[in-house]
Amino acid sequence: MNLYVSIAAMAYLLGSIPFGFILAWAFLGTDVRKIGSGNIGATNVLRTGSKGLGIATLLLDAAKGYAAVLVARLLSVHAGAFGSDQDVLLGLAALCAMIGHVFPLWLKFRGGKGVATGVGVFLALAPLAVAYALCGFAVIFAIFHYVSLASIIATAAFPVISSLQLRSRDRSLLPFMVAASLLIIVKHHANIRRLLSGSENRLEFTKR
């Protein structure tokens, strides 16, 4: 049980590092929560006009999710956990990293929507499924030009794609994948309302 608690705490703390907020504040002196959507993720950091910081936020948010699962894998091997027991620990780390990003301790539990961090944790769990989901994201975004719509559809598709690709012994990961995907989609509730009403904003790039 201590191993489960340790991995959950580690993953949450890693996931809760608010890279978007830190980068915007450090390099621009801007509180990213006070512009655009008020989100601390890469899409809103891009709205500062700095593509570099937006890309850096995307990569770092994904990296922390990937790192959480990687560290969980190392800890589980060290503790002698393999098979379905290890899968549960990896899934737990993935979900807790997502929760950390969405509800970070350092920002009064007001964080991002979890898309980039989700890419990181999913990449660590099922890389091929992520590749298919990202292709779907690119196609939807190219057609409709809404990051939110592309994110929601790709996120919803990921557990379905994973279920077709995971080996039977890896199926212990699926409940955690579904929970993480639902968390991302629920955090897009305002975007969903705007999409349905036709008032959702497209992402615009400006030079800085």
Question: How much is the CA Rg of the chain, to the nearest whole Å?
Answer: 17
DSSP string, 74-140: HHHHHTT--HHHHHHHHHHHHHHHHHHHHS-GGGTT-----HHHHHHHHHHH-HHHHHHHHHHHHHH
CB 88 within 8 A of CB 172: yes
Low-confidence stretches of the chain (pLDDT < 70) are 1, 168-169, 203-208
pLDDT at 207: 46
pLDDT at 85: 87
Which pTM does this prediction carry? Answer: 0.90
> Domain locations in the chain?
2-197
